[in-house]
Amino acid sequence: DGLQKDFGEDRVIDTPLAESGIVGTAVGLAMRGYRPVCEIQFDGFVYPAYDQIVSQVAKLHFRSMGRVPMPIVIRIPFGGGIGAVEHHSESPEGYFVHTAGLKVVACSNPVDAYHMIQQAIASDDPVVFFEPKRRYHEKADLDEFAQPPPLFSSRVIRRGRDVTVLAYGPMVKTCLEAATAAAEEEKQIELIDLRSLSPLDMGPVLDSVRKTGRVVVVHEAPITLGLGSELAARIQEQCFYSLEAPVVRVCGFDTPYPPSRVEDDYLPGLDRVLDGVDRVLAY
């Protein structure tokens, strides 16, 4: 049904629930000149395919001295907030960001999802495409002919002068709500949607930090060695003398993702983001 009915069984292949086989098949197709797009049903199911992704998808282009391209897109729904059971609410982006040879992106809204997936398919590099599952039912007006920003770029989506907030994926909407709430107390948040997690587009980030001097990084993944750590390191390396306060991270906790009845306590929510903003402003 759906895509298979519209485009045929030669282009839309129904597979067993064997993630290593899904990605392994995509590798073979890429070696034959195709541009395969494979879907991992949920974030927590990607780990059986990790060997194929790290050993083959990320390395074959380098191992073959550029003779074997790997234009593969691996779609991974990620993040919590849907009241799901184990293995359905994780944020494994850190594993892939740390894997040289992969490009990693995360959309945060329907318009970006539309444009970014097409850009990822057109890319000659392997792209891990993270999709925030609790945003799947959102709708937006779309100009199909609009010129989207480059795939591997970050974007300022709200201007402000007091604090820079960095987020991606499902946390962008939470941070937009926080910016609206903070504005009622005359605190101006400049919000940047990172969009590309590897490579990181640091230009807009550094420009914003030099203006505000204060930074809060927000993501669902556990705090230790998460993307927030890398962002904090790069900011202090390149903007140390512009900082008025240490970089604050508002992230998931260093625990396995909890049962759904307590996930609201685990996920960075409005109150935790605003608390992070207050901490950097009070320093």
For residue 138 the two structure tokens come to 């959102």
Contacts of 167 (CB under 8 A, 6+ apart): 108, 174, 175, 191, 192, 193, 194, 217, 218, 219
**Active-site residues: which are they?**
88
Distances (CA, A) of 84 to 87, 111, 252: 8, 26, 17
Contact 92, 46 (CB under 8 A): yes
Distances (CA, A) of 27 to 67, 73, 123: 14, 10, 15
